[in-house]
Structure 1
Amino acid sequence: MPAVLASYKSAIAEYILPSVTRPSRYIAGEWNSVGKDPETAEVRVALAFPDAYEIGMSHMGLKILYQILNARPEILAERAYAPWLDAEALFRRHGIPLCSHESSLPLGSFDILGFTLQYELSFATILNMLELAGIPLCASDRDIRHPLVVAGGPVAFAPEPLADFMDAFLIGDGEEATLELCGVVREWKREGGSREELLRAVKGIAGMYVPALHQPGEVVRKRTALKLDVVDYGQFPVPYMEIVHDRANIEVMRGCAQGCRFCQAGYIYRPIREHSAPRIRTLVDQALRGTGYEEVSLSSLSIADLSCLRDLVPPLMASLIPDKTSLSLPSLRVEALNRNPEIAAEIGKVRKTGFTIAPEAGSARLRKVINKEGFDEEQIFTAVRNAAGAGWESVKFYFMIGLPTEEQADLDELVRVAKESARIARRESPRGFGLTVSVGSFVPKPHTPFQWFAQ
């Protein structure tokens, strides 16, 4: 792998920044970003998100790995994002390779290039980023001059579409395995082995799938972190520009026990691991003090299943109210919102914007099919009444269409439930009330009961 490092910072400043619509996507030095000397690092890792900066900066997993890796003095971790079309054209025109965000080092000069796979539509972007970086697309064409190209994230649980292009996949949680991978690369560099020797060593890490060395019948078991890694959310980089989720996000729980049959995350992130209420309050305080955000979100797949939620929210809100910091929660199950109306009242003490609930299907029959039958339509209407009566301004519904066994009658029920909810909201709210209905299409996901159903 390259020993001489050449930064393209001045070239990017001269040819890219003055000519793109949003130069803040490519400006480094954000608050809390890490500035290490690449020349002294024993292992250099580029954490790549195959989408625009404002989307990648909203992804918590990349930030967690960024902090964990940079906490080790021998490791340098820098970020990389997919350039927008205007910037990509300029990179190509001026012969500038795709570079890391912090030091503007070519991605090809790193020891490890790690992609996060959040959705299948990013596959083409990954190949485009490899080409822009001057890295051979096919893993079989790479040698010791090139980075080890690794992918992880939920889509890595179905790795074969990208198997020809990745040296390895990390299946499961990345906090521990990524550090082990860096240790393997560090030893390999010291000993000066071949690329095949490196791949064999990587294959020995639990949770790693190496396509080139995989034998028929071999089973790769997912990597599971037994507890949530302790990170300081106040040390996460703060962007110069507005991003998709422009707030402090705290992972309070990983895993879900609901078992919705379409939901991949509910199956691949088991078992449930969660923080205690005191720990969550500490993490929130660190995040707000270190970033300056005025909104904090408690992130989980099913926030209503957080065992300490009822004991957590009142004292947490008491600490947030003096600074007028608002608290937001992910989408709530209908029955959970009705069972805990005091939570809605508490988090609305600073800013009443909107609640998100996820019925997923309009009819009771179809909710039973997808294993989401803990409520009926009357409970949906009650949730809307409670939110409107408490002074909330809006409710957002998540529905899906195209679910297995769906019939026209199920779609008619969806429309009817939405219209009736809107009528109730207008009647109950003294100031006006907005109802947003978000309708997504069913996509069969691997490792779910619905994985073999047609879309």
Structure 2
Amino acid sequence: MDHKLEKILARVQKPGRYVGGEYNAVQKDKSEVDCRFAFCFPDTYEIGMSNLGLRILYGVMNEMEGVWCERVFAPWGDMEDEMRREGLPLYALESGDPVKDFDLIGFSLGYEMAYTNVLNLLDLAGLPLRSANRPNLTPLIVAGGTSTYNPEPLAPFVDIVSLGEGEDVTCELIQLYRKARDEGWSKDRMLREAAKIPGLYVPSLYEVSYHEDGTIAAITPQDGAPEIVTKRIVKDMDKSYYPVKTIVPSTEVTHDRVMLELFRGCIRGCRFCQAGFVYRPVRGRSHELLAQQGVDACKDSGYQEMTLMSLSSSDYPDLLPLCDGLLEWCQPNKVSLSLPSLRADNFSMKLMEKLQAGGRKSGLTFAPEAGSQRLRDAINKNVTEEDLLNSCRTAFAGGWSSVKLYFMLGLPTETDEDVLGIADLATKVYHVWRNNTPNRSRGVRITVSTSCFVPKSHTPFQWEAQNTQEEYMRKVTLLRENLRNKSITYNWHDPETSFLEACLSRGDRRLADVLETAWKNGAKFDSWSEYFNLQTWLDAFEANGLSPAFYANRERGKDEILPWKVISDGVKESYLWKEREAAYQGVITPDCRVKCSGCGANKLCEGGVCHG
């Protein structure tokens, strides 16, 4: 251990975040490695180590001969202060070597509020922030993850953006880098060749011009770059990598358990949900393979908890046989089984019995999203009030006494009547409990939570305006004043972070200057209340002559060029517009198992077949 690090650790919170050495962490002989990849997660160790995508790509790269992938997490403020004071640069956990000495540095970005941490980590590593100021081939800065479906606010800082699922394309990029290094290519040549690999977007190869009103005039490819870059997917999930030998953290993390990924994609098509569109088409693993992977992962790690993961786990077609296969091993070995992402329209008595047998009975969570059937139809939620009440009836009759209900405020077409519908629905859930619980001595806990709708790229609502913060808080007050039942608790998400998220999620390349200014003025860990300061961002917008309302609170026209025009997730933009029109007409689109809606994403699978 570096003597500076050893001295620092005694002075910081949670030193276990910074030392590595965990069970199943990969150590390699440097003399047998010719390519080193620093996998950076721009948040704390506890958050990053709970990310299944990180564990998958870590395993994929470390199975490549001659490649060593190591982990890097954002140090908390106390650790950062000590590192800067002692002159200790950002380092990788496995070797302790400085990140700036690695061949490639990759950032996993699932949330726009982590952008300032990307800049902070580059600075801690001793690297120039902007790609143009890093002329050498090494290190290359790569970014991937859900939020990079609009990569423009980060475009000047990264060299390459990897779109979609990284298992295959990451290996292809590493092989191209090896070729470039061995043959002495310039960085410019490397980037031009990388742009030829499907799924890799090179921001520097696109020129953006603007109209006088601030909207985009044109996005022009340079040096033979493709006009459209389409995401990559893994076509056969049964053949895809799963981290059976997973790293066991040496300190507590957010999701400290075995995570089984049932399938990717979603059949539902909720019109506000970016993940539901960008992860299409649906591809699942067989329940026999999942059961074996879950058991093997528990045996290897010693975990006593397993969770079944997907965007909508109760939509997995073989869920009950899978639970049976897992419980056969879990019950005698005292391993609990949990199932998040439940839908109110398919929660059954049989599923409830499986959850009870799995040892989890702390509470259930459903997401009606909207308070009225009219608005649920507009957002294509495909859940009725009776679906929710029947699911709660089943749960209460089975002994549950805690239910969480998630909603959004500010959805397109929303009225005050829809807001008041949330209070009415929560009250009806309470009465279902009173009428279906023989023993009411323990009482019931009904938690209503609301967040502020954030319009996202690649969704039917990507053209919509976000409610102003004032309008959102007016709706919060209206709802709060109509939730008087002591058994119902109301929590709401603060509008300031949602406002900034809306700016960044639909921002163009000019926001890079705002991002850098905000970071220079202290912005970091913006998803954490301990650090977030909206005024820092408002000052940064003003300093760069830009209006945040232009990005967050403005409706886009059908013909406006959107910043992510070059990026494709396989879903046709004409389909998204048609879905937007259907929202305003209150017309629902059936889920993919009922009828293919022709979104276009199934062309990414073998034979054009969606396996939903």
Tell me the TM-score normalized by structure 1.
0.94
Counterpart of 2:372? 363
Bigger mean CA deviation after superposition, 65-74 or 214-223: 214-223
What CA distance in whole angstroms lies between the structure 1 residues aligned with 2:426 and 2:335?
A: 32
Q: Quick check: 1:149–1:166 contact (8 Å CA) kept in 2?
A: yes
Aligned to 2:128: 136
Match of 2:445 in 1: 434
The amino acid across from 1:454 in the alignment is: A
Counterpart check, 1:14 vs 2:20:
no
Structure 2 residue 417 is matched with structure 1 residue 409: yes
Deviates further, 387-396 or 111-120? 387-396
Describe the SS at the equivalent of 2:448. strand
Paired residue for 2:391?
Answer: 383
- Report the more deviating stretch, 314-323 or 104-113: 314-323
1:342 aligned to which of 347, 350, 356 = 350
Secondary structure of 2:250's aligned partner: coil
Question: 1:89 and 1:58 mapped to 2: Cα distance?
Answer: 25
Q: Distance in 2 between matches of 1:433 and 1:401?
A: 25
Partner Cα distance (2:4, 2:31) in 1: 20
Contact 1:181 1:202 in 2 (8 A): yes
Is the contact made by 2:98 and 2:125 (CA closer than 8 Å) also made in structure 1? yes
- Asked if structure 2 preserves the Cα contact closer than 8 Å seen for 1:171 and 1:221, the reply is yes
Note the residue ranges of structure 2 that are not aligned, 5 or more in a row. 208-219, 222-226, 467-612
Match 1:235 to one of 233, 245, 253 = 245
Q: Is the 8 A contact 2:160 2:200 kept in 1?
A: yes
Secondary structure in 2 aligned to 1:165? coil
- Give the corresponding residue for 2:455: 444
C-alpha distance in 2 between matches for 1:116 and 1:84: 18
Correspondence for 2:487: none
Counterpart CA distance in 2 for 1:196 and 1:351 is 54
C-alpha separation between the residues in 2 aligned to 1:326 and 1:442? Answer: 34
Structure 1 pair 435–76 and aligned structure 2 pair: CA distance change class (3 A): same
Q: Take 1:158 and 1:388, find their aligned partners in 2: how far apart are those partners? A: 43
- Aligned mates of 1:380, 1:252 — CA distance in 2: 24
1:232·1:287 contact (CA, 8 Å) conserved in 2?
no
Alpha-carbon shift at residue 426 of structure 1 (Å): 4.9
Q: Is the 8 A contact 1:331 1:355 kept in 2?
A: no
Corresponding position of 1:116: 108
Does residue 418 of structure 1 match 2:410? no
Deviation at 1:42, TM superposition (A): 1.0
Distance 1:49 1:74 in 2: 23
Q: CA deviation at 1:232?
A: 4.2
Which has the larger displacement, 93-102 or 376-385?
A: 376-385
TM-aligned CA deviation for residue 427 of structure 1: 5.0
Aligned length: 444
Q: Deviations over 1:254-301 (max 9, x none)?
A: 011100000011111111110111011011111111111111111111
Alignment partners' CA distance in 2, 1:432 and 1:293: 32
**For residues 241 and 152 of structure 1, what CA distance do their matches in structure 2 show?**
26
The one-letter amino acid of 1:371's match is N
User: Corresponding residue for 2:604?
Assistant: none
Alignment match, 1:293: 303
Question: Partners of 2:30 and 2:379 in 1: how far apart?
Answer: 50
Aligned-pair CA distance for 1:214: 3.2
Q: Counterpart amino acid of 1:226? A: K
Aligned residues: percent identity? Answer: 43
CA offset at residue 352 of structure 1?
Answer: 1.5
Contiguous gaps of at least 5 residues in structure 1:
1-7
Aligned pair partner of 1:46 in 38, 51, 54: 38
Does the CA contact (< 8 Å) of 1:233 and 1:286 recur in 2? no
Is this contact kept in 2: 1:348–1:392, CA < 8 A? no
| CA distance in 2 between partners of 1:38 and 1:167 (Å) | 26
Contact in 2 for aligned 1:317/1:347 (Cα 8 Å) = no
Mapped pair 1:329 → 2:339: yes
1:3 is matched with which residue? Answer: none
**Alignment partners' CA distance in 2, 1:351 and 1:333:** 17
Partner of 2:17: 25
Which residue in the other structure is 2:232 paired with?
223
Letter in 1 for 2:276: G
Q: Which whole-Å deviations, capped at 9, do the CAs of 1:282-334 have from their partners, x for residues lacking one? A: 11111111111111111111112212113222232222111121111122111
Aligned partner of 1:65 in structure 2 is: 57
1:425 to partner: Cα distance: 2.7
2:183 counterpart of 1:191: yes
Distance 1:295 1:432, change over 3 A: farther
Equivalent of 2:381, from 366, 372, 385?
372
Q: 1:403 to 1:395 in 2, by over 3 A?
A: same
Structure 2 contact 137–187 (Cα < 8 Å) conserved: no
Aligned residue in 2 for 1:4: none
Superposition deviation, residue 145 in structure 1: 6.4
Taking the aligned partners of 1:37 and 1:144, their CA distance within structure 2 comes to 26
* Deviation at residue 422 of structure 1 after TM alignment: 2.9
Q: Distance in 2 between matches of 1:425 and 1:238?
A: 40
Does structure 2 conserve the Cα–Cα contact (< 8 Å) formed by 1:238 and 1:291?
Answer: yes
Q: Is the 8 A contact 1:352 1:393 kept in 2?
A: no
Question: Could you tell me how far apart the structure 2 residues matched to 1:253 and 1:225 are?
Answer: 11
How far off its partner does 1:432 sit? 3.5
Following the alignment from structure 1 to structure 2, what is the Cα–Cα distance between the partners of residues 412 and 275? 41
| Cα deviation, residue 449, structure 1 | 0.1
Aligned to 2:573: none
Q: Distance in 2 between matches of 1:277 and 1:67?
A: 22
**Equivalent AA in structure 2 for residue 220 of structure 1:** V
Query: Are positions 1:276 and 2:268 aligned together?
Result: no
Pairs within 5 Å for 1:166-205: 166-205=158-197
Question: Whole-Å Cα distance in 1 between the matches of residues 351 and 42 of structure 2?
Answer: 37
Report the CA distance between 1:225 and its aligned residue: 1.6
| Aligned-partner Cα distance in 1 for 2:148–2:70 | 21
SS of match in other structure, 2:244: helix
Q: Structure 1 counterpart of 2:199, which letter?
A: G
Tell me which amino acid in the other structure corresponds to 1:448: T
Write the distance in 1 (CA, Å) between the matches of 2:447 and 2:140: 45
Aligned to 2:216: none
Structure 1, residues 76-107: CA drift from partner, whole Å, max 9, x if none? 00000101000011111111111111111111
> What's 1:5 paired with?
none
Question: Aligned-pair distance for 1:234?
Answer: 2.8
Alpha-carbon distance in 1 for matches of 2:436, 2:29: 60
The answer on whether the counterparts of 2:83 and 2:89 sit within 8 Å (CA) in structure 1 is: yes
Instruction: Report the Cα offset of residue 356 of structure 1.
Output: 1.6
In the TM superposition, what is the alpha-carbon distance from 1:196 to its structure 2 partner? 1.1
